[in-house]
Amino acid sequence: MTDAALHVHRYGDSAGDPVVLLHGVAGHGARWRRMAERYLADRRVLAPDLRGHGRSQHEPPWTVEQHIADVLATLDLDGIERADVVGHSYGGMIALHLARAAPRRVRRLVLLDPAIGVDPARAGERAREHMTQASFGDAAEARASGAARWPEASDEAVDDEVAEHLQHLPDGRLRWRYEPAAIVAAYSDMARPHVPPPVGVPTHLVIAAQADLVRPEFVVDCRTALGPGLTLTEIDAGHMLYVDRPDETGALLSAWLGEDAGGR
Query: Which is catalytic among the residues 67, 97, 165, 239?
Result: 239
β-strand pairing of 44-48 with 18-22: parallel
d(Cα 227, Cα 223) in Å, to the nearest integer?
Answer: 5
d(Cα 78, Cα 80) in Å, to the nearest integer?
Answer: 5
Query: Which is catalytic among the residues 78, 159, 221, 254?
Result: 221
* Cα angle for residues 232, 66, 165 (degrees, 5° grid): 75
Q: Is 89 noted as a catalytic residue in this protein?
A: yes
DSSP, res 62: -
> What secondary structure, in 3-state letters, does 171-224 show?
CCCEEECECHHHHHHHHHHHCCCCCCCCCCCCEEEEEECCCCCCCHHHHHHHHH
Q: Is 145 noted as a catalytic residue in this protein?
A: no
β-strand pairing of 44-48 with 174-176: unpaired
Using CA atoms, how far residue 67 sits from 75, 98, 123, 212, 230, in Å, is 12, 9, 19, 25, 24
Query: Which is catalytic among the residues 89, 160, 204, 244?
Result: 89
CB atoms within 10 A of CB 70: 21
- Is-contact 254 124, C-beta < 8 A? no
d(Cα 113, Cα 91) in Å, to the nearest integer?
Answer: 10
Q: Which residues are tagged catalytic?
A: 89, 221, 239
